[in-house]
């Protein structure tokens, strides 16, 4: 589990850079791969997750794989926890060059509440954990961010389009992407960029908690010219966005989805519906 040699090539993209990676739970997590890839590119970072996830997950194993990276628990909805975390980050590194927000949770989805019948205190919690936390994190980070820092959050195309079982997470992702733009506009004067990466469906703990996730995964895979992007491929993309190679990219929602977001109709998806595509195309009636 997570101990194999990933054979990552070191381009030195993140040499001398320091940051925080929020959200690795286990070796399926997007943030797990992102942490491994940042480490491989020479970046140094704190690993953080909610206190409960520290007990349930395997975060300490990840720390070992990343050169004993410091592990500091923080509930991303707690101002007190975040204040302490960023104070420790300042002591450790002086300033920060990157932040990765890979956090999401919806109790409404976990408990299969239909969108028309959301439990509102869970709805507020979904927004707080999955979107407002990015605002809170950046707010607390402001005094320790270095000029040219790159701030990034993981999102999903459910922010723009309706996926029947994505429920209140679609609303949370729309807010998350808006927060990224709002901060991007304000932090440009410090050379700081803020973006979201809109990733393909990926088999993680959060992903698999969505009803009919396998069907969504297969549908997206068939409809994407390049197929679904894996967690490893997501991490490859993320390290470029944390590096100096992308220093003028800001306020963007960047699709990392094998082309899914630009597709309309496709024969492979139609074939899944049982149509004989060639015959039907020749005989439209």
Ligand X SMILES: NC(=O)c1ccc[n+]([C@@H]2O[C@H](COP(=O)([O-])OP(=O)(O)OC[C@H]3O[C@@H](n4cnc5c(N)ncnc54)[C@H](O)[C@@H]3O)[C@@H](O)[C@H]2O)c1
Residue with Cβ nearer ligand X (26 or 182): 26
Give the residue from 160, 118, 155, 157 showing the smallest Cα distance to 134. 155
Contact 45, 21 (CB under 8 A): yes
Query: What tokens does 263 get?
Result: 């597709």
Residue with Cβ nearer ligand X (76 or 141): 76
The residues in 40-99 that bind ligand X, with binding defined as CB under 6 A, are 49-50, 53, 75-77
Least distance between ligand X and beta carbon 211 (Å): 13
Residue with Cβ nearer ligand X (66 or 76): 76
Q: Is 23 annotated as a binding residue?
A: yes
Residue with structure tokens 């959060």? Answer: 206
Contacts with ligand X, 128-167, as mask; x by CB under 6 A:
-x------------------------xxx-----------
Q: Is 94 annotated as a binding residue?
A: no
Which one of the spans 62-70, 103-111, 188-196, 247-255 is the region binding ligand X (CB under 6 A)?
A: 103-111
Cα Rg for the chain, rounded, in angstroms? 19
Residue with Cβ nearer ligand X (104 or 258): 104
Contact 147, 192 (CB under 8 A): yes
Residue with Cβ nearer ligand X (205 or 246): 205
Dihedral over Cα of 211, 178, 126, 153: its sign = positive
CA gap 194, 151 in Å, rounded:
5
Query: What tokens does 284 get?
Result: 């439209």
CA gap 91, 73 in Å, rounded:
16
Least distance between ligand X and beta carbon 77 (Å): 5
Query: What tokens does 49 get?
Result: 């997750």
Instruction: Count CB atoms within 10 A of the CB of residue 7.
Output: 6
Q: Is 23 in the site for ligand X (CB under 6 A)?
A: yes
Q: Considering only residues 13, 21, 25, 96, which one is a binding residue for ligand X as defined by CB under 6 A?
A: 25
Q: Considering only residues 29, 126, 224, 243, which one is a binding residue for ligand X as defined by CB under 6 A?
A: 29
Q: What are the DSSP E strand ranges found in the chain?
A: 18-22, 44-48, 96-101, 145-155, 193-199, 253-256
Q: Site size for ligand X, by CB under 6 A?
A: 26
The residues in 211-270 that bind ligand X, with binding defined as CB under 6 A, are none
CA gap 72, 123 in Å, rounded:
27
Least distance between ligand X and beta carbon 278 (Å): 33
Give the residue from 56, 107, 116, 46 showing the smallest Cα distance to 81. 46
Least distance between ligand X and beta carbon 116 (Å): 22
Q: Considering only residues 132, 206, 223, 239, which one is a binding residue for ligand X as defined by CB under 6 A?
A: 206
Least distance between ligand X and beta carbon 272 (Å): 19
Helix residue ranges per DSSP H, 128-194: 133-141, 167-187
Q: Considering only residues 69, 72, 86, 104, which one is a binding residue for ligand X as defined by CB under 6 A?
A: 104
List residues near ligand X by CB under 6 A.
23, 25, 29-31, 49-50, 53, 75-77, 102-105, 129, 154-156, 199, 201-202, 204-207
Annotated binding site for NAD(+): 23, 103, 173
């Amino acid at each position: 589990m997570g101990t194999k040699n990933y054979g990552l090539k070191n381009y030195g993209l993140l040499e001398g850079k320091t940051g925080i990676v929020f959200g690795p739970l286990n070796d399926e997590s997007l943030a797990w791969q992102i942490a491994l890839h940042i480490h491989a590119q020479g970046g140094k970072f704190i690993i953080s997750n909610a206190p409960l996830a520290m007990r349930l997950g395997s975060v300490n194993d990840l720390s070992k794989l990343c050169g004993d990276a410091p592990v500091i628990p923080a509930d991303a909805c707690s101002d007190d926890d975040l204040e302490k975390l960023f104070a420790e980050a300042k002591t450790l590194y002086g300033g920060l060059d990157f932040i990765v927000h890979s956090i999401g949770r919806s109790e409404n989805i976990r408990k299969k509440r239909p969108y028309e019948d959301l439990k509102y205190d869970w709805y507020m919690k979904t927004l707080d954990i999955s979107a407002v936390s990015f605002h809170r994190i950046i707010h607390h980070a402001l005094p320790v961010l270095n000029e040219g820092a790159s701030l990034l959050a993981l999102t999903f195309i459910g922010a723009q389009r309706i996926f029947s079982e994505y429920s209140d997470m679609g609303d949370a992702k729309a807010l998350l992407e808006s927060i990224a733009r709002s901060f991007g506009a304000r932090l440009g004067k410090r050379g700081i960029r803020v973006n979201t990466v809109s990733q393909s469906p990926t088999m993680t703990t959060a992903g698999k908690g969505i009803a009919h996730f396998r069907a969504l995964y297969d549908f997206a895979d068939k409809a994407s010219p390049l197929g679904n992007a894996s967690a490893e491929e997501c991490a490859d993309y993320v390290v470029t966005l944390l590096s100096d190679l992308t220093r003028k990219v800001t306020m963007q929602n960047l699709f990392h989805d094998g082309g899914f977001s630009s597709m309309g109709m496709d024969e492979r998806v139609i074939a899944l519906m049982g149509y004989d595509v060639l015959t039907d195309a020749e005989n439209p009636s």
